[in-house]
Amino acid sequence: MSNVNEGRREGSLEAPTRHPLDWKGADFYAEGPLFKELERVYDICHGCRRCVSLCNAFPTLFDLVDESPTMEVDGIQKQDYWKVVDQCYLCDLCYMTKCPYVPPHEWNVDFPHLMLRAKAVKFEQGEIPLRDKILTATDVVGRIGSIPVVAQTINAANQLKPVRQLLEKTLGVHAEAPLPRFESNTARKRLAKKPARTVSAVATPETTGKVAIFVTCYGDKNAPQVVDDLYEVLCHNGLEVQIATAAQCCGMPKLELGDLHAVERLKDANMAQLAALVATGFDIVAPIPSCVLMFKQELPLMFPEDPQVLKVKRAFFDPFEYLMLRHKHGLLVCDFKQGLGKIALHVPCHQRVQNIGLKTKEVLELVSGTEVTPIERCSGHDGTYAIKVENYAFAKKICRPVVKRIEDGSFDHYLSDCPMAGELIEQGVERPAAGSAFALLRQAYGI
């Protein structure tokens, strides 16, 4: 077979190659070249249709094609291209698990990066609702929402139907969508009160035994118990644990909005402290998969020549990935006091695309009397996507297979490795989730 035919065949035996995002290139924000590339990739997707079950972006595209006069991509109105962009929440699963035309294939299809480029163009054109700017300003919203009394007032108001209806009418936040709670007793406040611990950290080829927790906006202001449980598990394993106290938002919400310059500002604000921690021998973990992915993949693809970004990338881990690396060298404490029974574990998209395997499952199943069933389906939540009035029904539909798997099984516990995804799943299951995998592991340890 000729080299030409090799290039044109579907799929490849080679691993996917992710090219850096040329977001400072001359044509990146030009609408003409963008629409030309959208048409090229949409036509490839139309001819394949393998990704139809992943999210609502692809059904939207295929419906536009099938309802057009030509029943081809050339029959779609150019302005309707944005309808597909609006339904993509950059989960990366089409790139990592489905598309046979990703590089090194000559067609060079990177659907998520193309959608990100389109979102960036749309943002630069100023076509972003005030609601979306507010929802992605996680540092500011969290800082205000976690003020004592303010937090309790917001939480109470969000339970009132008239208030939710007003939010839907004025801001476009769906009246039934689950909204995060705000906590005035933040993770940073809680951890600052912790007593000093005895440290017996031992380095391995992959880990230093010294861990800094990037608590994240959500972990600090909305789910501090998740961070507290993570901290206790790490300390129980004799690790030296520190908090990245000056850290700001990782930038993922602004990335999904297309505000790439805000991502750069947040990167600059975070890197000095994180790189300094790495330089003093600390590895870094974060309790939210999207935030881990930001430092392991998205920022390195945006800033491939930034030495601090690359240094932090090499030291950033999913918490359970880190624990399993320790276990490989016999350094994970396994003095478990009780089994956890049958667990349904939702594996979030942004954890799956890290290509680390099912590390949460592996750690939990070290506990005797524990059986974990992973559910590798999207929850449909994606940070801000599910709470928008125009997306909530789609999100619930995407989440339905996850809910059904949980309801059809006889599980003692169910949970998601992403607390935000867990909220939408819990709304469908209608019985309380187990909190976090850190909470279950802490329960098994009896600490």
Reduced 3-state DSSP string for the chain:
CCHHHHHHCCCCCCCCCCCCCCCCCCCCCCHHHHHHHHHHHHHHHHHHCCCCCCCCHHHHHHHHHHCCCCCCHHHCCHHHHHHHHHHCCCCCHHHHHHCCCCCCCCCCCCHHHHHHHHHHHHHHCCCCCHHHHHHCCHHHHHHHHCCCCHHHHHHHHCCCHHHHHHHHHHHCECCCCCCCCCCCCCHHHHHHCCCCCCCCCCCCCCCCCEEEECCCHHHHHCCHHHHHHHHHHHHHCCCEEEECCCCCCCCHHHHHHCCHHHHHHHHHHHHHHHHHHHHCCCEEECCCHHHHHHHHHHHHHHCCCCHHHHHHHHHEECHHHHHHHHHCCCCCCCCCCCCCEEEEEECCHHHHCCCCCCHHHHHHCCCCCEEEEEECCCCCCCCCHHHECCCHHHHHHHHHHHHHHHHHCCCCEEEECCHHHHHHHHHHHCCCCCCCHHHHHHHHHCC
Retrieve residue 355's tokens.
């290509």
Sign of torsion over alpha carbons 418, 93, 425, 299 = positive
Q: Which of 224, 354, 243 is nearest to 296 (CA)?
A: 354
* CATH topology assigned to domain 336-445: Rossmann fold (3.40.50)
CATH-assigned architecture of domain 187-325: Up-down Bundle (1.20)
Query: Which residues of the chain are in CATH 3.40.50 domains?
Result: 336-445
> Residue 10: its pLDDT value, please?
57
At residue 195, the pLDDT reads 87
The pLDDT value given to residue 332: 95
Q: Are 346 and 373 in contact, with CB atoms under 8 Å apart?
A: no
Tens digits of pLDDT across the chain (447 residues): 333 344 455 555 677 889 999 999 989 999 999 999 999 999 999 999 999 988 999 999 999 999 999 999 999 999 999 999 999 999 999 998 889 999 999 999 999 999 999 999 999 999 889 999 999 999 899 999 999 999 999 999 999 999 999 999 999 999 999 999 999 999 999 999 998 887 878 999 999 999 999 999 999 999 999 999 999 999 999 999 999 987 899 999 999 999 999 999 999 999 999 999 999 999 999 999 999 999 999 999 999 999 999 999 999 999 999 999 999 999 999 999 999 999 999 999 999 999 999 999 999 999 999 999 999 999 999 889 999 999 999 999 999 999 999 998 889 999 999 999 999 999 999 888 888 999 999 999 999
CATH 1.20.1050 positions along the chain are 187-325
Instruction: Give the pLDDT confidence score for residue 1 in this predicted structure.
Output: 33
